[in-house]
Amino acid sequence: MRLCHLIFGAVILIMKHLKIIRVILSVVLAILVTAAIFCRESECSWLGWFQKFQLMPALISFSMGVCAFWLAVSLLVGRVYCSTICPLGTLQDAVAYFGKKLRRSKIGDYWYSRPENRLRYVVLGVIIVCIVAGQMFLPEITDPYMIYEKFIDNLFSPAVAAIAGEWIVPSLFGMALSLVTLVAIVTLSIKNGRTFCNTICPVGSALSVVSRYSLLQLEIDPDICTNCGKCEMACKASCVNAKAHTIDYSRCVLCLNCGAVCDDNAIRFTTVRKRLSTPLMQQVKGKVPQMTIDAPGGDFNSMIKMKTDNKK
């Protein structure tokens, strides 16, 4: 019994620290991916490994090993890709973090919203058709890695070069496109967190198909949850419904914010979905919930009526 408590305590401790580990990892990987884009033609060719692990470029270049690796990871635990190696995901998190600071929100002010399945899977279908047909314009302007690479090439690199006294002149169309995309993604992140990830991003949509069936999933334990709602407010993917005790795992980007804010340790990874152990009341769609008590020869209301009539 004591061993069980020790293991349980260790799991909770790890859950609490997983978010910090995840944030550090994503920042380090974003720096390395950015450095890889900068040093494309230099000696540091080993940095190119971080580009090779990006999903869409791997798919386009038929790097089946990389695709199989991310498929296996997503089937095991969900969208780890979105919380670690995707530089656009980290950029959105950074922007959302500073947006939260500006709004002086302590936990976050996100709310559960319904999934935009029609939009995200239509976009994914169109991108697949484009790739098969060899038309790369749409995949290039929607793929998160390519968007990030173009930010660096069209906006960041010329600015850094100008500070160093050199002039790099990118195409005006490329600059305008990168600027418009950057403004759109930054605005969405400040307002709603990971909206881009759960609507337009084809990589996120493809991963969502797999991650909804992943072996390990985050779950709210309804027996422990005190309905404080903090996890829902902290979820930048808007996929936690605290009232219903559900997490839409197809949209969860595994940021682990929910576990970090839950003081009751009601959120954890599990392989088995749990239900309320004692369902006291259940709301049937369109009906007002009513308390019913089995009474001999009739229901509770008629029993009360009978007693009142007897008194008379």
| Residues of the shown chain interacting with ligand SF4 in the complex, contacts defined by CB under 6 A | 82, 86, 88-89, 144, 196-197, 201, 203-204, 218, 220, 225-231, 234-235, 237, 239-240, 242, 247, 252-258, 261-262, 264, 266-267
Considering only CA atoms, which of 76, 74, 110 is closest in space to residue 92? 110
The least distance separating ligand SF4 from the CB of residue 131, rounded to whole angstroms, comes to 16
Alpha helix locations (H) across the chain?
2-38, 48-52, 55-60, 64-77, 80-83, 87-102, 117-133, 137-142, 144-151, 157-163, 172-192, 202-211, 230-234, 257-261, 300-311
Cβ 115 to ligand SF4, closest distance in Å? Answer: 13
Beta-carbon neighbour count of residue 192 at 10 Å?
20
For ligand SF4, the nearest residue by Cβ is 204
Please report where in the chains the tokens 């990006």 appear, as a residue. Answer: 54
Q: How far is the CB of 144 from ligand SF4 (least distance, A)?
A: 4
If the CB atoms of residues 59 and 266 are measured against ligand SF4, the closer one turns out to be 266
Cβ 17 to ligand SF4 shortest distance, Å: 14
Q: Which is nearer to ligand SF4, 274 or 303 (CB)?
A: 274
C-beta of 38: minimal distance to ligand SF4 in Å? Answer: 20
Residue whose C-alpha is closest to residue 280's, from 293, 298, 297, 267? 293
CB closer to ligand SF4 out of 225 and 303? 225
Q: Whose Cβ is closer to ligand SF4: residue 141's or residue 303's?
A: 141
Read off the amino acid at residue 106: K
